[in-house]
């Protein structure tokens, strides 16, 4: 049984729907807005999220920032972005995590970029007799990516208990909690092959109608934990046969990308591969990684 999806992967969906906002997004007290939000506030947010998570927010993200952070202001009973940002910088505490969670973009889907899972299945099949293997999904979002890896491993070994462990990390603790729960609206698996649906998902009934839960055996293969790719040292136990670092580097500038790659690739096994997003390009990091397939890379200097 191959892990190929029956039809093109379902359109990726995101957990957040940005609130429609008026075009005038700079002036304090803009029409239709509940909170004061001016250019200086936006610049502060841009600087703070860049420092915390490396995310480079373009000018066009003003409405998105307003929509997402205004929920935090409402929750905290604050009246202006200035008050919120002053409080955050003065004694942020747990609010720093809420601030970060609010500003990440978590678009993902099961078997997104299906060719990666076909290749992974081949790579795992080649190593069937190599003993336990480790795989890292380093921007795991709500869990669809690590669960797709887990299903691929089960298919490669023909068992629900393959000798594979998966580390799933993300800077956003809210999406990790969704991943840990492993419960999704059934529409999220609509595009999957029926055999995979039956084998790896349990349909909810009664109050859980319309939801599906991943098979508990998949959950057993995955360790979900927070990890910020900006941190100077990754406390992870490799070496990894595969590192999935997909659709996250697009949010970082090139120097940040290079720093992350330099810290990631030492955790790859000599014959391990880095799986990257379809719009991520690493020509500027040819001294760190070299292409070895469609959006696949190996560490430079392994001779693999």
Ligand X SMILES: C[S@@+](CC[C@H](N)C(=O)[O-])C[C@H]1O[C@@H](n2cnc3c(N)ncnc32)[C@H](O)[C@@H]1O
User: Where on the chain is the footprint of ligand X (CB under 6 A)?
Assistant: 53-55, 104-108, 112, 139, 141, 145, 170-172, 175, 228-230, 246-248, 251, 277
Beta carbons of 53 and 230 less than 8 angstroms apart: yes
Nearer to ligand X, 104 or 121 (CB): 104
Closest contact distance (angstroms) between CB of 250 and ligand X is: 8
274 beta partners = 243, 297
Helix (H) or strand (E) holding 238: none
From its phi and psi, is residue 38 left (phi > 0), alpha (psi between -120 and 50) or beta? beta
Q: Which residue of the set 25, 170, 172, 219 is catalytic?
A: 170
From 25, 41, 62, 68, active-site residue:
68
Question: Is residue 68 annotated as part of the catalytic site, yes or no?
Answer: yes
- Active site annotation includes 170: yes
In angstroms, the CA 304 to CA 289 distance is 12
CB-wise, 25 or 295, nearer to ligand X? 295
Q: Which is nearer to ligand X, 35 or 135 (CB)?
A: 135
| Rounded Cα–Cα distance for residues 82 and 60 (Å) | 20
Cα separation, 148 vs 140, in Å, equals: 11
Min dist CB 181 to ligand X, Å, is 15
Task: Using the minimum distance from each CB to ligand X, give the nearer residue, 113 or 123.
Answer: 113
CB 16 within 8 A of CB 62: no
**Minimum distance from residue 232 beta carbon to ligand X (Å):** 13
What are residue 77's phi and psi, to 5 degrees?
70, 30
Minimum gap (Å) between residue 61 Cβ and ligand X = 14
**C-alpha span between 210 and 38 (Å, rounded):** 42
Q: Which are the catalytic amino acids?
A: 68, 170
């Amino acid at each position: 049984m191959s892990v190929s999806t029956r039809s093109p992967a379902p359109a990726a969906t995101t957990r957040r729907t940005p609130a429609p906002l008026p075009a005038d997004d700079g002036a304090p007290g803009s029409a239709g807005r509940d909170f004061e939000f001016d250019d200086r506030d936006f610049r502060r947010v841009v600087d703070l999220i860049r420092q915390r998570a490396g995310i480079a927010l373009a000018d066009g993200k003003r409405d998105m920032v307003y929509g997402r952070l205004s929920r935090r202001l409402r929750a905290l009973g604050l009246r202006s972005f200035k008050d919120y940002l002053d409080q955050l910088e003065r004694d942020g505490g747990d609010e720093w995590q809420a601030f970060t969670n609010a500003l990440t973009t978590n678009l993902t889907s099961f078997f997104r970029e299906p060719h990666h899972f076909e290749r992974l299945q081949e790579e795992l099949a080649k190593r069937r007799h190599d003993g336990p293997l480790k795989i890292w999904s380093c921007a795991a979002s709500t869990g669809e990516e690590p669960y797709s890896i887990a299903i691929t491993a089960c298919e490669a070994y023909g068992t629900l208990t393959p000798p594979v462990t998966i580390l799933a990390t993300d800077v956003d603790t809210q999406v990790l909690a969704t991943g840990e729960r492993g419960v999704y609206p059934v529409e999220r698996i609509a595009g999957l092959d029926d055999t995979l649906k039956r084998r790896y998902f349990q349909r909810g009934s009664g109050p859980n109608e319309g939801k599906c839960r991943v098979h508990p055996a998949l959950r057993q293969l995955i360790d979900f934990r927070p990890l910020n790719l900006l941190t100077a040292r990754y406390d992870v136990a490799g070496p990894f046969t595969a590192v999935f670092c997909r659709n996250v580097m697009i949010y970082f500038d090139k120097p940040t990308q290079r720093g992350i790659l330099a810290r990631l690739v030492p955790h790859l096994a000599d014959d391990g591969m880095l799986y990257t997003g379809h719009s991520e390009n690493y020509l500027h990091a040819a001294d760190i990684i070299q292409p070895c397939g469609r959006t696949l890379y190996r560490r430079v200097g392994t001779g693999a």
